[in-house]
Amino acid sequence: MQNLIFYALCVGLIISLTAGLTNNLSYSQISSEASSDSGATHTFTSTTSTQSNSASIQRNSLSLSAANLKQPQILKINAPSARLQGEISINGKVVQRLNDSSSKLDLSPYLSVGQQKIEVSAQYSPSTAAVSVEVQGSGNNISQQTSGSGTLNYTLDLDIQ
């Protein structure tokens, strides 16, 4: 009886470890600061972050004031030990192709008041590599890291007022 219980526990442990290693491993960090530049306040009003590891989808929401668009809002994608193949699109229009281990894009020229959607879709290899996505500018910093699936699907929903 004890051998049967021990065997069942070992099988359960092996299954759990295998599932954990094959799922997408993710990390997310969001920070913000209010700043003042020549009397004009450049702040965003709120952020939220949700992730679905089973579908390898990462999503952030960010509210910005229109004044933030006067400053660069930089999207950085970095995979130091991998090669990315994919694209960055804004409101459904491809604005940049990904064909290297890193990419940097100023989002400000593409943005206006209203709802905006930035999507990053890419494959990376080796699939065990870590890929980070950052959005920086006007006192905000969103940083997410993923690894383990070979697929990067990231969406940033912006509400610019």
pLDDT tens across 92-137, in order? 999 999 999 999 999 999 999 999 999 999 999 998 999 999 999 8
β strands within the chain, DSSP E: 25-32, 35-37, 40-42, 44-52, 57-64, 74-78, 83-90, 93-98, 102-106, 114-125, 130-137, 140-147, 151-160
Q: Which pLDDT score, from 0 to 100, does residue 75 have?
A: 96
Q: Are 124 and 83 in contact (CB under 8 A)?
A: yes
pLDDT tens across 35-46, in order? 444 333 333 333
- Asked if residue 71 has pLDDT above 80, the reply is yes
Separation between Cα atoms, residue 15 and residue 96, nearest integer Å: 40
Tokens describing residue 84:
């990315």
3-state secondary structure of 88: strand
